Amino acid sequence: MGSTVYVVGLGVISGIGNNVAEHLSAFEREAAGMGDISLFDTLHQHQLPVAEVKLSNAELIKMTGLPGRSSRTTMLSSVAAKEAWEDAGITDPKAFRTGFISANTVGGMDKSESFFVEFWADNNKGKLRNIFDHECGSMTEIVADQLGIKDFITTISTACSSSANAIFYAARLIKNGIIDIAVAGGADSLTKFTLNGFNTLMITDKELCRPFDQNREGLNLGEGAGYVVLVSEQVLKTLNKQAYCMISGYNNSNDAYHQTASSPEGTGSYLAMKGALEKAGLQPSDIDYINLHGTGTPNNDSSEGIAVRRLFDPNYPAVSSTKSFTGHTLGASGGVEAVFSVLAIKHGLIYPNLRFETRMEELPFEPVKHFQAGQNIKHVMSNSFGFGGNCTSLIFSAV
Task: Out of 94-108, 127-141, 297-311, pick the least confident.
Answer: 127-141
| Residue spans in the chain of domains classed CATH 3.40.47.10 | 6-236, 248-397
Q: Is the pLDDT of residue 258 over 80?
A: no
Q: Is the pLDDT of residue 270 over 90?
A: yes
Higher pLDDT, 260 or 299: 299
SS (H, E, C) 76-116: HHHHHHHHHHHHHCCCCHHHCCEEEEEECCCCCHHHHHHHH
One-letter amino acid of 208: L
List, for residues 43-98, the tens digit of each pLDDT value. 898 999 999 999 999 999 999 999 988 999 999 999 999 999 999 999 877 889 99
* Cα(119)–Cα(113) distance, integer angstroms: 10
| Catalytically annotated residue among 23, 209, 245, 328 | 328
Statement: the pTM of the whole predicted model exceeds 0.85: yes
Query: What is the C-alpha R_g of the chain?
Result: 20
Angle between helices 298-312 and 267-280 (to 10 degrees): 40
- Dihedral Cα 10, 285, 164, 77, nearest 10 deg: -20
Q: What is the pLDDT of residue 9?
A: 98
SS (H, E, C) 213-236: ECCCCCECEECEEEEEEEECHHHH
* Cα(181)–Cα(58) distance, integer angstroms: 32
Mean pLDDT of the chain: 95
List, for residues 346-364, the tens digit of each pLDDT value. 999 999 999 999 999 999 9
> Which is it for strands 98-103 and 181-188: parallel, antiparallel or unpaired?
parallel
In sequence order, which residues have a C-beta less than 8 Å from that of residue 225 and are 6 or more positions away? 11, 12, 13, 14, 76, 77, 79, 80, 81, 185, 186, 187, 188, 332, 335, 336
CB atoms within 10 A of CB 373: 11
Q: Is the pLDDT of residue 305 over 80?
A: yes
Q: Which of 242, 258, 354, 368 is nearest to 303 (CA)?
A: 258
Q: Is the pLDDT of residue 302 over 80?
A: yes
Superfamily of domain 6-236: Thiolase/Chalcone synthase (3.40.47.10)
Percent of the chain with pLDDT over 90: 86
- The pair phi, psi for residue 158, each rounded to 5°, is -130, 50
Residue 5, Cβ density class (10 Å: 0-12 exposed, 13-18 middle, ≥19 buried):
buried
Whether 293 is a known active-site residue: answer yes
* Cα(375)–Cα(264) distance, integer angstroms: 33
Instruction: Write down the architecture of domain 248-397 according to CATH.
Output: 3-Layer(aba) Sandwich (3.40)
Higher pLDDT, 257 or 227: 227
Mean pLDDT of 260-267: 80
CB atoms within 10 A of CB 96: 16
Q: Which of 294, 264, 293 is nearest to 355 (CA)?
A: 294
* Cα(205)–Cα(216) distance, integer angstroms: 8
Q: What is the pLDDT of residue 260?
A: 67
One-letter amino acid of 302: S
Whether 245 is a known active-site residue: answer no
| Catalytically annotated residue among 23, 136, 160, 391 | 160
**Side by side, which strands form the sheet with 318-320?**
152-156, 98-103, 181-188, 224-231, 6-14, 245-254, 390-397, 379-386, 289-291, 318-320
Higher pLDDT, 124 or 197: 197
* Cα(122)–Cα(99) distance, integer angstroms: 43
Mean pLDDT of 227-231: 98
* Cα(378)–Cα(86) distance, integer angstroms: 25
List, for residues 154-190, the tens digit of each pLDDT value. 999 999 999 999 999 999 999 999 999 999 999 999 9
Higher pLDDT, 112 or 229: 229
